[in-house]
Amino acid sequence: MSSKSTERIGGGGLPVLVEGEWSKQKFELVHRYATAFNRAIKAKFENRAYIDLFSGTGLVGIKDSAEEVAGCAFRAMDAVPAFNHFRFCEIDPRYRAALEARALKRTPKLFAQCKFFEGDCNLVVDQIIASLPKPGHNNNFSNFFAYKMEDKNVL
């Protein structure tokens, strides 16, 4: 969540972050890139993980409208071919809970491949990495939009 984001209560009584109209283009670009990434490496890498260290609530409300759209986490889950592992981190416990509840309802077939982490990503990134499968070939797609991370944790 950027420092300019606000929130409101969205569908299902769960919080959503509110961003400008421009964010829809960002989410579409994440989806396109995730799809292209998976197409390009699917035959070479057995395990492909999407890691989002600033996951938010799954849905984003569009400023000055009632519209709600799928955020980066869900747009990455929509990629075909799909990632086979998803790792989500959110510092706000309400947002993490909203994302988890929405993911279960929205993508029940992929939910078993999801793990949700709560806390400062700089403090839990090692747990996130450790939760990924070790054997075989692995490749990860990370989403670091609009956040400054400690240099040691940039993957």
Q: Which residues pair with 9 in a beta bridge?
A: 15
Contacting residues for 93 by C-beta, under 8 A, at least 6 apart: 118
Q: Whole-angstrom Cα distance, residue 79 to residue 32?
A: 8
d(CA 77, CA 99): 12
Question: pLDDT tens for residues 47-71?
Answer: 888 999 999 999 999 999 999 999 9
Give domain limits for the chain: 6-137
Tokens of 40: 């390009």
Q: Strands 68-70, 59-62: parallel, antiparallel or unpaired by DSSP?
A: antiparallel
Q: Is the pTM of this model over 0.85?
A: no
More confident residue, 35 or 42: 35
| Mean pLDDT across 120-136 | 85
Where is pLDDT greater, at 148 or 136? 136
CATH number of 6-137: 3.40.50
